[in-house]
Structure 1
Amino acid sequence: MKLDNTVAAVVTGGASGLGAATARALAAKGVKVAIFDLQKEKGEAVAAEIGGVFCEVNVTSDESVDAGFAKARAAHGQERILVNCAGTGNAIKTASRSKETGEIKHFPMDAFNWIIQINLVGTFRCIAKSAAGMMTLDPCDEFGERGAIVNTASVAAEDGQMGQAAYSASKGGVVGMTLPIARDLMSEGIRVNTILPGIFNTPLLQGAPQNVKDALAASVPFPKRLGMPEEYANLAMCMIETGYFNGEDVRLDGAIRMAPR
């Protein structure tokens, strides 16, 4: 896909981290970018920086996502690009025993469902609604391409650690639905790919003590550092711009394979 100021994009989770880096990379190519996020102050700041539009969106709500797409399309027209970076995590064992009291607890179902609703269902909700919009567009090249979608999973989809049952399930679901969605949309010229990031220097880690970040960096085979959001954005841009890139799930992790804990 050729990127310029005739193309519109939506980036969920675009107020910070991987999403903000991708929004900046798209805008640098002239793309008109709408940011979906709940972080209003940060989202508005990034949107102002790149000449885009901010939409306060909760991806777990049909009404909120519909309103976000309506605002984005009123400002920029129908998007050809969707990048899904909205997500969250938690760390709770499936069942555990207190070392102090011996009390046994299990993973609270509402906490499990919360992660699934944001990371998996929220991603699918945005894909389905964006793809329906992309289908109204004329193809942008001689091969019939109408749009490109990039999702964010995690290396935890393949080697989740202790306490990551919900997170791994949600990200594994994103990986698992990538190919079937690409096949669903193949006759409409809409491509779908997913990135599985490793340990990245995002807001989730920026508040961690330096010794913790150093230990995480040392666990990466090469290069021995945390991933940079710009590197995620580079891969997302490659997936968007390369027309033969479709139905793929790609790890971006410095060759790390996560230990049990």
Structure 2
Amino acid sequence: RSMVTRAVSGLVGLVTGGASGLGKATVERLVRNGCRVVMFDLPKSDGEQVAKSLDPDNCVFCPGDVTSVEDVSAALDVAKSKFGKLDVTVNCAGIGIAVRTYNMHKKKVHPLDQFERVIDVNVCGTFNVIRLAAQMMSKNELGDRQEKGVIINTASVAAYEGQVGQAAYSASKGAIVGMTLPIARDLAMCSIRVMTIAPGLFETPLLGSLPEKVKNELGKQAPFPQRLGDPDEYAQLVQSIIENQMLNGEVIRLDAAIRMQP
């Protein structure tokens, strides 16, 4: 029997961190391919402008914080009232810091509140979005694919090869890797798939502030291709995951075979 390939056209998506970087590229690709999208990002982001520039009819900006139950619920309400449903959730919102656990030279210990903040946004924020989105998706009709939804999270190669100063960031991304399979198992009964992408070095605002020379040097750390990833290559994988139903409960490294040095 031939499987029905799920084209993204006609689907409704929620993308967190959607105003810049990997999230923005994901919003752009989904809208370009006939998806209607709720873009969720901080009130201070460029979300409003980005949504207007894309397609105001099919892309709406919702300001908010992923750690807030009220903010995420409000975004889901917008998906329901404006587009009638939710099929896809992509978690791209996240923060990072670089602080050593203990810095001997500066005699400075890692501030606990900074560690907690990264865990709160990256882990609790991601889980907050997952649990509320899953509740809404579970009410969908099964359709010809016998599927109610797809959730895609963003980890990082730092989950596996965290560098100096990345204790908090790596711990948060390792947690996202670790919860992928159990959440996929939890939501199997709801006919919802759960996947995680672990990107390597991508051309995003996180790296964008670096000088061109430094970016080129970073890109050369990858065996092949020796360059930073294009955010649309991340978005392309998001689309593939939505379309390919056998992808579930797994983490895909998208990293040009890079293995980060200390």
Q: After TM superposition, is the score higher than 0.5? A: yes
Name the structure 2 match of 1:64.
71
State the Cα deviation string for residues 20-45 of structure 1 (Å, max 9, x = none): 11111111121110100015552112
Gaps of 5+ in 1: none
Kindly indicate whether residue 45 of structure 2 is the aligned counterpart of residue 38 of structure 1: no
CA distance in 2, matches of 1:149, 1:76: 18
Asked whether the equivalents of residues 43 and 64 of structure 2 are also in contact (C-alpha less than 8 Å), the reply is no
Q: What is the DSSP-based 3-state SS (H/G/I as helix, E as strand, rest coil) of the residue aligned with 1:34?
A: strand
Name the structure 2 match of 1:94.
101
Name the structure 2 match of 1:29.
33
Name the structure 2 match of 1:158.
160
Kindly indicate whether residue 63 of structure 2 is the aligned counterpart of residue 85 of structure 1: no
Q: What is the DSSP-based 3-state SS (H/G/I as helix, E as strand, rest coil) of the residue aligned with 1:70?
A: helix
State the Cα deviation string for residues 41-65 of structure 1 (Å, max 9, x = none): 5211221233210000101111111
Over 3 Å counting, the alpha-carbon distance change for 1:126 and 1:163 in structure 2 is same
Name the structure 2 match of 1:105.
108
Name the structure 2 match of 1:3.
8
CA distance in 1, matches of 2:20, 2:80: 22
Instruction: Give the 5 Å matches for 1:1-261.
Output: 1-5=6-10, 7-40=11-44, 42-51=46-55, 52-98=59-105, 104-142=107-145, 144-260=146-262
Q: What is the DSSP-based 3-state SS (H/G/I as helix, E as strand, rest coil) of the residue aligned with 1:193?
A: strand
Per-residue deviation, 1:73 = 2.1
Per-residue deviation, 1:4 = 1.9
Per-residue deviation, 1:161 = 0.2
Q: Which amino acid aligns with 2:162?
A: G
Asked whether the equivalents of residues 149 and 191 of structure 1 are also in contact (C-alpha less than 8 Å), the reply is yes
Asked whether the equivalents of residues 14 and 40 of structure 2 are also in contact (C-alpha less than 8 Å), the reply is yes
Kindly, what percent of the aligned residue pairs are identical?
50
CA distance in 2, matches of 1:171, 1:141: 34
Question: Once structures 1 and 2 are overlaid, which stretch shifts more, 27-36 or 68-77?
Answer: 68-77
CA distance in 2, matches of 1:3, 1:214: 34
Asked whether the equivalents of residues 55 and 72 of structure 1 are also in contact (C-alpha less than 8 Å), the reply is no
Asked whether the equivalents of residues 39 and 51 of structure 2 are also in contact (C-alpha less than 8 Å), the reply is yes
Gaps of 5+ in 2: 1-5
CA distance in 1, matches of 2:200, 2:123: 18
Per-residue deviation, 1:3 = 2.1
CA distance in 2, matches of 1:23, 1:244: 23
Q: Which amino acid aligns with 1:258?
A: M
Question: Once structures 1 and 2 are overlaid, which stretch shifts more, 31-40 or 154-163?
Answer: 31-40
The TM-score normalised by the length of structure 1 is 0.94
Asked whether the equivalents of residues 25 and 235 of structure 2 are also in contact (C-alpha less than 8 Å), the reply is yes
Q: What is the DSSP-based 3-state SS (H/G/I as helix, E as strand, rest coil) of the residue aligned with 1:93?
A: coil
CA distance in 2, matches of 1:168, 1:183: 24
- What is the aligned residue count? 254
Q: What is the DSSP-based 3-state SS (H/G/I as helix, E as strand, rest coil) of the residue aligned with 2:222?
A: coil
Q: Which amino acid aligns with 1:124?
A: F
Q: Which amino acid aligns with 1:59?
A: V
Q: What is the DSSP-based 3-state SS (H/G/I as helix, E as strand, rest coil) of the residue aligned with 2:201?
A: coil
Q: Give the ranges of 4+ consecutive aligned residues of structure 1 lying more than 6 Å apart after TM superposition.
A: none
State the Cα deviation string for residues 65-116 of structure 1 (Å, max 9, x = none): 1122212321112211000000010000111112xxxx52211110000000
Q: What is the DSSP-based 3-state SS (H/G/I as helix, E as strand, rest coil) of the residue aligned with 1:188?
A: coil
State the Cα deviation string for residues 197-231 of structure 1 (Å, max 9, x = none): 00000011111112211110111110010000000
